[in-house]
Amino acid sequence: MNRIVVPIAWLLLFALPPGTAAVIRTVPREIQPTTKSSATSRPAARGKLSIRVMGDDWGDAGTGDICRVLESAAGELWKNFPNRHLHPIIVQRGRRSPITLYRRGPKGEYLVKVTTKGRYWCQFAYQFAHEFCHILADYSHKSPRANKWFEEALCEMASIYAMRQMAVTWKTSPPYPHWKSYAADIRKYVDDLQDAEDKLPEGKTLAVWYKENSAVLRKAPCMREKNRIVANSLLGLFEAHPEHWAAIGYLNSGKAASDSLQDHLANWYRQTPAKHRKIVADIIKMFELKVPRDLPVK
């Protein structure tokens, strides 16, 4: 499959001290049509997250600093998965688009590529939070392509969510004490991802918008500008109830009756433990679809 490369829009780029967070708009992600490795290894201990940044060409950004930024971005999501275990994540620099490979490392490691080079911490956080959400969603090459756009929208939402949280966390607890001032840069970056064009048109519901855009979404799942509209529509649910982020882990479980959005979301609802089903039900209702009834408690 040929990669689709969308030009990066430079919204803010100026001389800043080392370690700053310059603002860069967005980079697309492509679905990688490879297969998963059968390799297995012991996941990190409960509550622990292992991220390893390889010594690639990162420009003037050090691997240690990069790792701290990635840990911060992932940590804002990971804190809501207290009982989850993950294999280590190996991060390399990609040349075309950020991606999480279906292929795994020799010991089951997740293989993630981000395309940032230099000390653009906001872009590192944005790209990695997106890819980390694919990992949390137990991404699978077996899930129907027709609904891949929905996972992409959730991962776009994860980037926005993580960076909004980082903008608060870094005010008091940044990776390094002298990075506190960069909280404002993070906030500027994420605010730009929530402009008027990144949200539903005034007076239009998500259900109506989806009916108008479903054909193109089901054919081209990585249309970031459309993914972001869905992301911003769902963001409030997860900010109000972050304890239900765990529902993301069941998105690709089971098998839907068909590739319709109704069956895809209904399957997600059925696979999700009862204590986290409400947020899935709320999403289903936003699309004006039917919520499954009379399910056994998991």
pLDDT digits (tens, 9 = 90+) for 182-234: 999 999 999 999 999 999 999 999 999 999 999 999 999 999 999 999 999 99
Based on the fold, state whether residues 41 and 129 are members of the same structural domain: yes
**74, part of any domain:** yes
Choose the weakest-confidence range: 186-195, 201-210, 269-278, 285-294. Answer: 285-294
pLDDT for res 294: 60
User: Stretch 113-125: mean pLDDT, rounded?
Assistant: 97
Q: Cα–Cα distance between 128 and 130 in angstroms, integer?
A: 5
The answer to whether the CB of 255 falls within 8 A of the CB of 181 is no
pLDDT at 35 over 50: no
- Residues 6 or more apart whose Cβ sits within 8 Å of residue 263: 256, 257
Q: Is residue 150 part of a domain?
A: no
In angstroms, the Cα distances linking 153 to 132, 193, 238 are 13, 13, 13
Which range of residues forms the domain containing residue 84? 10-145
- For 246-263, the pLDDT digits (tens) are 999 999 999 999 999 999
Please check the confidence at residue 245 and state whether its pLDDT lies above 50.
yes
Q: Is residue 235 part of a domain?
A: yes
Same domain, 40 and 102: yes
The reply to whether 117 and 201 lie within a common domain is: no
Q: Is residue 176 part of a domain?
A: no
CB atoms within 10 A of CB 76: 22
CB 72 within 8 A of CB 62: no
Give 83's pLDDT tier (boundaries 50, 70, 90). confident
Predicted confidence at residue 17, as pLDDT, reads 32
Among 83, 72, 81, smallest CA distance to 122 is for 72
Domain boundary, last residue among 145, 167, 183: 145
pLDDT surpasses 80 at 160: yes
The number of angstroms, rounded, from the C-alpha of 13 to the middle of its chain's C-alpha atoms is 24
- What's the confidence (pLDDT) of residue 41? 45
Average pLDDT value over all residues in the chain:
86
Question: Is residue 251 in a domain?
Answer: yes
Residue 104 domain-assigned (yes or no) = yes
The number of folded domains in the chain is 2
Residue 100 has pLDDT above 80, yes or no: yes
pLDDT at 44: 52
- Residue 46 pLDDT class (50, 70, 90 cuts): low
- The label of the residue with tokens 């001032």 reads 181
Kindly state whether residue 1 falls inside one of the protein's structural domains. Answer: no
Predicted structure pTM score: 0.84
Residues 133, 244 within the same domain? no
Whether residues 202 and 140 share a domain: the answer is no
